[in-house]
Structure 1
């Protein structure tokens, strides 16, 4: 088993300082870099555990607190296990934070994350990968679109709002994307309904983007998150197989 090292770090951005978690193999060598974007519940032990698993597979992983403008993680205090009954009160506080993450804001922040990784001896030079969960899938796709020369692989799982009517919808950057993409959509997910899946696929196909998408049958939105009652172990393992396959090919 690969030994890994995980530390809390700070990253200077144009708008302040983002706290983040940084994990990498503890072997003293450089490894391909990945930005892992959090779901709406934020940077917490579950996300750190996922970063550690990815680091154990041979990657240098950065997990930024994308809500840093509102404070250090946890910006919204969470129960140890997030049940459906907890969600209304939590999202009452989280939704306004999500609204701040416009396309322009994500472009600025992602540039800072990528620039920071480029300075780290633990990160191999060259293109990076990105993966995101829930709202983080949108951030991963926007990062690929805003930084095509730097991002070689991008993935999104139970993504939300990837092809909306908004003027900064990620799918509108399709003609700028050079990364290979993978999406693991959740079945019957109201945050990414079939018409958005179709619109996303159409935009990427017409732009000539190398991409693949699966709909994980009977998987709920949030299926990768073991600290919630939406977790589905089989779908979560399927996601790891797909993600590591993508990064293995592209990075």
Structure 2
């Protein structure tokens, strides 16, 4: 765990995963699902680090985690999304900015919504990676997004309807954003290996085949946007 300051001066902690060769490595700001900074999201950061990226996951819940959907909903509703996007993510970006000028935002569910909001306000983000999540579309100003975006969506998602995904894609394209949206015959949380369907986490289900495909596409995207220079 590392500590860093938000723009307002308050301290925040996060989980930092470092690659074997950190010199000149680009970074990924990873935003958690509504479960908190748990082992699964740390594993996402570790996977990115093993591929050569510096990965930071801010602890949005300040040490609290859960496996209960009702409690997760309560924790998420306790967040001020505007403050998280401007302060928590702003501080994380300042911290990563001391190490590199190539930073992608990457989020899952709630974290994807926060990533989209941050892309409207932080020019430091060089790319955005979204996994099955978005905020209310009226909160997004696509004209302020100037970095490429890749999104992974589940057509059987009961939380984030694919019809709204289609509308989001159209709005981004109409604003000139470089967008790659992929749709998978899967349920919400299909890249989360702890989502095993009814009996564990309702209305979500891990799909190893589609998860690997989404990761492959993500690493190709990150390699093109963060490693390749004009």
- Alignment TM-score > 0.5, same fold: yes
Q: TM-score, normalised by structure 2?
A: 0.87
**Alignment correspondent of 1:76:** 65
How far is the alpha carbon of 1:15 from its aligned partner?
7.4
Aligned positions of 1:157-176 closer than 5 A: 157-159=131-133, 161-162=134-135, 164=136, 167=138, 169=139, 172-176=140-144
Residue in structure 1 matching 2:55, options 53, 61, 66: 61
Displacement of 1:197 in angstroms is 1.0
Q: Distance in 2 between matches of 1:104 and 1:39?
A: 17
Q: Which residue of 1 aligns with 2:69?
A: 91
Partner of 1:226: 193
Q: Tell me the equivalent position of 1:153.
A: 127
Closer/same/farther in 2, CA of residues 223 and 176 from structure 1, 3 Å limit: same
Deviation at 1:195, TM superposition (A): 2.7
Shift of 1:140: 1.2
Aligned-pair Cα RMSD in Å: 1.7
Taking the TM superposition and a 5 Å limit, the aligned residue runs for 1:174-189 are 174-189=142-157
Q: 1:12 Cα shift?
A: 2.3
Match of 1:12 in 2: 5
**Closer, same or farther in 2 for the Cα pair 1:188/1:28, shift >3 Å?**
closer
C-alpha separation in 1, matches of 2:22 and 2:55 = 15
Q: Which residue of 2 aligns with 1:127?
A: 102
Q: C-alpha separation between the residues in 2 aligned to 1:45 and 1:76?
A: 10
Distance 1:232 1:15 in 2: 41
Cα deviation, 1:100-130, whole Å, max 9, x if unaligned, reads 23224322221111001122xxx33x23101
Q: Which residue of 1 aligns with 2:160?
A: 192
Shift of 1:28: 5.0
- Structure 1 residues 93 and 30 mapped into 2: Cα distance closer, same or farther (>3 Å)? same
Residue 106 of structure 1 pairs with residue 85 of structure 2: yes
Q: TM-score, normalised by structure 1?
A: 0.80
Of the candidates 110, 117, 137, which is equivalent to residue 142 of structure 1? 117
- Structure 1 unaligned runs (5+)? 1-7, 79-89
Superposition deviation, residue 76 in structure 1: 3.1
Q: 1:52 aligns with which of 19, 28, 46?
A: 46
